[in-house]
Amino acid sequence: MERESEMSSKAKRKQAPVSVVNAAARALSVLESLSRRDSVGLEELSREMGLAKPTVYRFLQTLQELGYARRDEGDRWAMTLKTFNVGSRALDHLDLHHAARPVAEELAEELGETVHMGVLEGDSAVYVLKIESKYTIRMFSRVGRRIPLYCTAIGKVLLAYSRPEERKAALDGVRLVAFTPSTITTRAGLEAELKSIKAKGYGRDAGEHEEGIECIGAPIFDRDGAVVAALSVSWPLFRFEAGKESERAAVVAAAARKVSGILGYEG
């Protein structure tokens, strides 16, 4: 009996990590679901996740105790800013982020407009850095926001300088939906645009994602010559002087090259 009890105890110890991992995975799934909306009710969240309401409720309570979720007066649940704070601290440890921030601040100071840095993530680009414009009228954007690849300066630059297989993987299954009358909506048109970007060394979003917003972006390379991010500057149309595209593009591209140099790129 003692031998059986010992074996049973060892088996339980072996199984414990699996249940812990499952619980952690489910808790993170709840957090990700909360991140996709302003707030959600328990029943809706339970139905979406395919889990019993008591189970989902326990995860929500745990997240609430840890400061990652909150419950409002209408008995709905929402994510707190703690997740953002944790993610922001993680960004501080990235060489890319450290290299780019002072350069981006200089660029924003020189041109006076909003500066973003974005990276490729699946079929989108994600803002990982933002320096605000000095003007009162600014862009509505935030670190962590996902943007389309095919109609933004950052996205098109990332596509233009990515390897063919990466580009194919990023675009497969993506519908080229028109956000504005200027949006490129055909693969042939997009491929021609990407070819032009590589020839010029920078990309432009001429009101293709948001009407009234002009954006110029340039690639950032690592020491191996792979594009790891794109740096961009955005202008409201009324502050974008006609005929100055090349001049401004040269400034943005120079800043991107400076970041690349800090990362060890010698091209």
Which pLDDT band holds residue 217 (cuts at 50, 70, 90)?
Answer: very high
Contact between residue 248 and residue 108 where contact means Cβ atoms under 8 Å apart: no
pLDDT at 64 over 80: yes
The average pLDDT across 226-255 equals 90
- The CATH homologous superfamily to which domain 91-262 belongs is GAF domain (3.30.450.40)
The model carries a pTM of: 0.67
Closest CA to 171 of 198, 189, 144: 189
Q: Tell me, what's the pLDDT at 9?
A: 44
Structure tokens at 128: 């990982």
Residue 16's Cα: distance from chain center in Å? 35
pLDDT at 1 over 90: no
CA angle 187, 189, 193 (to 5 degrees): 110
Q: Tell me, what's the pLDDT at 14?
A: 43
- Residue bearing tokens 């070819």: 195
Backbone angles phi, psi at 81, to 5 degrees: -80, 0
Provide the β-strand partners of residue 125. 120, 147
Provide the β-strand partners of residue 120. 125
Please give the mean pLDDT across all residues of the chain. 85
What is 2-80's CATH topology?
A: Arc Repressor Mutant, subunit A (1.10.10)
The average pLDDT across 71-83 equals 86
The average pLDDT across 49-70 equals 91
pLDDT at 228 over 60: yes
pLDDT at 20 over 70: no
Fold: same for 2-80 and 91-262: no
d(CA 147, CA 124): 6
Q: Tell me, what's the pLDDT at 106?
A: 94
Residues 124-183 pLDDT 10s: 898 889 988 777 555 666 777 888 999 999 999 999 999 888 888 888 878 899 999 999
Listed by start position, the domains of the chain span 2-80, 91-262
Provide the β-strand partners of residue 250. none
d(CA 52, CA 45): 10
Q: Tell me, what's the pLDDT at 92?
A: 54
Closest CA to 203 of 137, 106, 125: 125
